[in-house]
Amino acid sequence: MSIALSEQEIIRRESLQQLRALGINPYPAEAYDVTAWAQDITDNFEANPDNYKQITIAGRIMTRRIMGSASFAEIQDSTGRVQIYLKRDDICPTEDKTLYNTVFKKLLDIGDYVGVKGYVFLTQTGEISIHVQELDVLSKSLKPLPVVKREDDGTIHDGFTDPEMRYRQRYVDLTVNPEFKNIFINRSKVISAMRNYFNTQGWMEVETPILQPVHGGAAARPFATHHNTLDMQLFLRIANELYLKRLIVAGFDGVYEFGKMFRNEGMDRTHNPEFTAMEIYVAYKDYIWMMGMVEECLETVAKAVHGVPVVQVGPHEINFAGPYEKLSMYDSILKYTGIDVSAMDEASLRTVCADLAIEVDPSMGKGKLIDEIFSAKVEANLIQPTYITDYPIEMTPLAKKHRTKDGLVERFELFVNGKEIANAYSELNDPIDQRERLEEQLILAGRGDDEAMAMDDDFLRALEYGMPPTSGLGIGIDRLVMLMTNQSTIQEVLFFPQMRPEKKAKVATADDFINIGVPAEWVPVLNKMGFNTVEELKAGNPNKVFNDLGGMRKKLKLDITMPVKETVIAWFE
């Protein structure tokens, strides 16, 4: 945090004190009974004017236009903005005009929360406004909000656009750029639409451990932590798949979980270290059934957000109504490269990668090589929802072997707009096969693949008791929300995307200064004068510091007691 206050912050703190001096609590404790909202007023006043003859509304002051003894201002609440009209003699019916002249005109600022009682009317220029009869201060804002000006035609002036500040201070972003709230409102709709759909089918929402002794269920580097009492290493989950399958073993027919996953890998516009996934497992089903379920689910979601199944994403109109195109992994590579890799061995695949200028490394097995070719040549072409099916067994240790095709597994991934958003299997429930497949992963790990899956003996024990045939699905919720809200970066669909810590100016704490005798209220002044550490202060000239303190006190109009000279000199001893 910056220590020194800006001029505007000092003025706002003075206003705060003056409000208190007038007997106005700038942070009242009482509930404020709001009866109207901006959006409702602007939408419905003209049809039902009688409903708006005595209303109470609350929100932030966002603009002010003061014209002597009358003023207009805009109040922003959770639903939008509405103009208010204040007339000095209406809110100050007696001789005492303090509330208007001093409180409203001088002591209130853009960003302050106020409550207003009055009636709705139309101004001469036809704008729906509230004629204010009572004005209450609800919360004083001490930091100046960026002022974003909007014309009636939508032109924005002085937009608050710096992505770093928008993400670090999302509270400011959503206050001054309220249109971004729609992304998060739609995010909530995506999740609740899915949840409703699953519940309607009779499946149960569950919670499984985030702290796991073995990180299983996906190929990714984990975050490690330590439990003090048990004195053991724990990992933040990279997936919850193995726990949900344990619940299928336990006898539930359908279980699903929305939850944060954590992967200790790179960050970019489609990856955040923590992200939200939805996984669902349904007993007695297979991946073919799951395709139909996904189509129904995503169509429901798209309609919940947009009313129709067609969603505009960048330049594309994407139709989430099923059925979706189905293409096997090998056929998709054949379609987009003309090369049939279905019968190739590892050496031939390496040759193909070399011919296509795809970088590979020696730790990659056959499955990984095929995946590389797919990623490089096929993925970007899959704009409309497309199922890629029947993956090579090497890259999918948790899926059941294909019922007819040797060397493949029953798996599909759903690609939309060139990105994978869902992954599903006919789940492997043969415990002996599962053990062998995980052992192969250990061999890959031995070759240097640090993302190969770990052995989970308890999971294998569960399978040995018997898991019914089951189909499972995972959906990346953040990426789905990106699609449904037409956003190209994951940061825009996360309230608080991961950021590096803000740089702190190298400053001593206030206590360090207090310890050498500086009164607390003078510490910010010393900081403002450029003394950020006690050492810097002591290197200065005591007489000059004393004189400058007086100067700063005057310059900043500080209403605090000046220390005597002997006190200041004592700071230097």
In the complex, minimum distance from the CB of residue 464 to RNA, in angstroms, rounded to a whole number? 27
Query: How far apart are the C-alpha atoms of 260 and 104, rounded to whole Å?
Result: 46
Q: Which of residues 30-69 bind RNA (CB under 7 A)?
A: 63-69
Among 26, 115, 118, 146, binds RNA (CB under 7 A): 146
Interface with RNA: number of residues (CB under 7 A)? 76
Query: Which one of 32, 119, 121, 223 is in contact with RNA (CB under 7 A)?
Result: 121
Q: Does 89 bind RNA (CB under 7 A)?
A: yes
SS3 label, residue 65: strand
Continuous H helices in 466-562: 477-485, 510-515, 523-528, 534-538, 542-555
94 scored as a contact of RNA (CB under 7 A) = no
What's phi and psi for 356, nearest 5 deg?
Answer: -90, 5
Judged by beta carbon, residue 116 or residue 304, the one nearer RNA is 116
Q: Which residues contact 536 (CB under 8 A, 6 or more apart)?
A: 530
Q: Segment contacting RNA (CB under 7 A): 3-11, 33-41, 112-120, 285-293? A: 3-11
Q: What's CA 200's distance to the chain center, in Å?
A: 28
Q: Does 96 bind RNA (CB under 7 A)?
A: no
SS3 129: strand
Give the nearer residue to RNA in terms of CB position, either 249 or 522. Answer: 522
Near RNA by CB under 7 A: residue from 345, 359, 406, 566: 359
Across-strand partners of 75?
61, 82
Return the HEC string of 362-400: CCCCHHHHHHHHHHHHCHHHCCCCEEEEEEEHHHCCCEC
Q: Of 265 and 346, which has the nearer Cβ to RNA?
A: 265
Among 254, 392, 476, 524, binds RNA (CB under 7 A): 476
Choice between 281 and 391, CB closer to RNA:
391
The whole-angstrom separation of Cα 73 and Cα 61 is 7
CB of 235 to RNA, least distance (A): 14
The 405-444 site mask, x for binding RNA (CB under 7 A), equals --------x------x--x---------------------
Is the Cβ of residue 36 or residue 82 nearer to RNA in the bound state? Answer: 82
| List 22, 28, 78, 150, residue binding RNA (CB under 7 A) | 150
Residue 119 in contact with RNA, rule: CB under 7 A:
no
The residues in 166-185 that bind RNA, with binding defined as CB under 7 A, are: 167
d(CA 42, CA 86): 18
Residues 448-467 that bind RNA (CB under 7 A): 451
6 binds RNA (CB under 7 A): yes
Q: Token pair 């798949």 is at which residue?
A: 241
What residues from 505 to 564 belong to the interface with RNA (CB under 7 A)? 505, 530, 532
Is-contact 158 149, C-beta < 8 A? yes
Helix 287-306 and helix 181-201, axial crossing angle in degrees, nearest 10: 140
Touching RNA, residues 190-229 (CB under 7 A): 218-220
Asked if 83 is part of the footprint of RNA (rule: CB under 7 A), the reply reads yes
Confirm or reject binding of residue 165 to RNA (CB under 7 A).
Answer: yes
* Residue-by-residue DSSP string for 259-305: EEEE--S--BTTB-SEEEEEEEEEET--HHHHHHHHHHHHHHHHHHH
Tell me how far the alpha carbon of residue 206 is from its chain's centroid. 23
Q: Does 133 bind RNA (CB under 7 A)?
A: no
Q: How far is the CB of 179 from RNA (least distance, A)?
A: 16
Comparison of 204 and 354: residue with beta carbon closer to RNA: 354
Query: Min. distance of Cβ 115 from RNA in angstroms?
Result: 20
Q: Does 500 bind RNA (CB under 7 A)?
A: yes
Shortest Cβ 18–RNA spacing (Å): 10
Closest CA relative to residue 144, chosen from 115, 112, 113: 112
Q: Which of residues 276-335 bind RNA (CB under 7 A)?
A: none
- Asked if residues 318 and 383 have their Cβ atoms less than 8 Å apart, the reply is yes
Nearer to RNA, 246 or 263 (CB): 263
When the beta carbons of 31 and 357 are compared against RNA, the nearer one is 357
The single residue among 7, 43, 134, 346 that binds RNA, judged by CB under 7 A, is 7
On whether the CB atoms of residues 244 and 279 are closer than 8 A, the answer is yes
| CB nearer RNA, residue 281 or residue 374 | 374
Q: What's the rounded Cα separation, in Å, for the pair 388 and 373?
A: 14
Contact positions with RNA (CB under 7 A) in 370-409: 371-372, 375, 379
Could you give the 3-state DSSP secondary structure of residue 218? coil
As a three-state string, the secondary structure of 416-476 is ECCEEEEEEEEECCCHHHHHHHHHHHHHHHHCCCCCCCCCCHHHHHHHHHCCCCEEEEEEE
Tell whether residue 70 is a contact of RNA (CB under 7 A).
yes
- Going from the C-alpha of 392 to that of each of 332, 342, 353, 397, 408, the distances in angstroms are 13, 9, 17, 10, 4
| CA separation, residue 284 to residues 236, 290, 404, 466 (Å) | 30, 11, 19, 13
Tell me the window of 289-297, 461-469, 496-504, 509-517 that interacts with RNA (CB under 7 A).
496-504
Site membership for RNA, residue 161 (CB under 7 A): yes
